[in-house]
A and B are shown apart, each in its own frame.
Chain A
Amino acid sequence: DIQMTQSPSSLSVSVGDRVTITCRASQSISYYLNWYQQKPGKAPNLLIYAASSLQSGVPSRFSGSGSGTDFTLTISSLQAEDFATYYCQQSYSTLTFGGGTKVEMK
């Protein structure tokens, strides 16, 4: 199984900050990497697919990059509604998720 390691596990930030979350795969997964946002009590919401493609309806302040084993999710200017937990997921083989990054208010 492919292991996904996310860092950091939590982040204290302010509105307007630039936020970067990283995800590392235990082996190369090409560009088969997706990012999700989850708010408490809700289902995850797809933000980025195929490492860098923005899902329809997702604000352009979200972006993704990377290929192979190292990937990044960036929020260019954090908004109040972006406080949430973010997960990476590889879809190169049977699915696995990273452990999550909780973005909290400073």
Chain B
Amino acid sequence: EVQLVESGGGLVKPGGSLRLSCAASGFTFSGYSMNWVRQAPGQGLEWVSSISTSSTYKYYADSVKGRFTISRDDAKNSLYLQMNSLRAEDTAVYFCARDSIGVGSDYWGQGTLVTVSS
């Protein structure tokens, strides 16, 4: 069974940092691109970042470029999102999702809440 479990969310002050993790199981993690998607309270879905297999390509939304860094450790079946210089507008539930070519994001984690507030 495919499972994605996010962790690392919490309350952080503006300007602070946080590192999110996504533990994958039930599939060959190294064979899939992965995405981070967030959802601010009461708002829609916003794509944040994507990483290809072998970490060859990394993409970021303009809203996080230069502040967030996506990475993966295939040996640990894990996806990460390092978030620096956090702002109030980064407050959201952050989901990791598996990306299947031609199919879209077919499996999602349950999400982890990040709150940026003083």
- Our pick among A43, A53, A91, A96 for the contact of B95 (Cβ within 8 Å) is A43
- The answer to the question of B50 belonging to the interface, with a C-beta cut-off of 8 Å to chain A, is yes
- The answer to the question of B29 belonging to the interface, with a C-beta cut-off of 8 Å to chain A, is no
Please choose the segment from A10-18, A44-52, A67-75 that sits at the chain B interface, where 4 or more of its residues have CB less than 8 A away: A44-52
- Report the minimum CB–CB distance from B63 to chain A (whole Å): 11
Tell me if A46 and B45 are in contact (CB < 8 A): no
- Chain B's closest residue to A44 (CB) is B108
Residues of A within 8 A of B (CB): 1, 34, 36, 38, 42-46, 49-50, 53, 55, 85, 87, 89, 91, 94-100
Pairs across A and B, CB under 8 Å, 17 listed? A36-B45, A36-B104, A36-B105, A43-B109, A44-B105, A45-B108, A46-B104, A46-B105, A49-B103, A49-B106, A50-B102, A95-B35, A95-B50, A96-B47, A97-B37, A97-B44, A98-B44
Tell me if B104 and A89 are in contact (CB < 8 A): yes
Chain B interface residue bracket vs A = 20 to 34
Tell me if A97 and B104 are in contact (CB < 8 A): no
By a CB distance below 8 angstroms, the chain B residues around A89 are 45, 47, 104-105
Tell me if B46 and A46 are in contact (CB < 8 A): no
Tell me if A99 and B111 are in contact (CB < 8 A): no
Q: How far is the CA of A38 from the CA of B37 in the complex (A)?
A: 13
- Our pick among A1, A87, A91, A95 for the contact of B44 (Cβ within 8 Å) is A87
- The answer to the question of B1 belonging to the interface, with a C-beta cut-off of 8 Å to chain A, is no
- The answer to the question of B69 belonging to the interface, with a C-beta cut-off of 8 Å to chain A, is no
Q: How far is the CA of A85 from the CA of B44 in the complex (A)?
A: 9
Q: How far is the CA of A44 from the CA of B4 in the complex (A)?
A: 13
Tell me if B47 and A95 are in contact (CB < 8 A): yes
* Nearest 7 Cβ contacts at the A-B interface: A34-B104, A43-B108, A95-B47, A100-B44, A97-B45, A49-B103, A49-B104
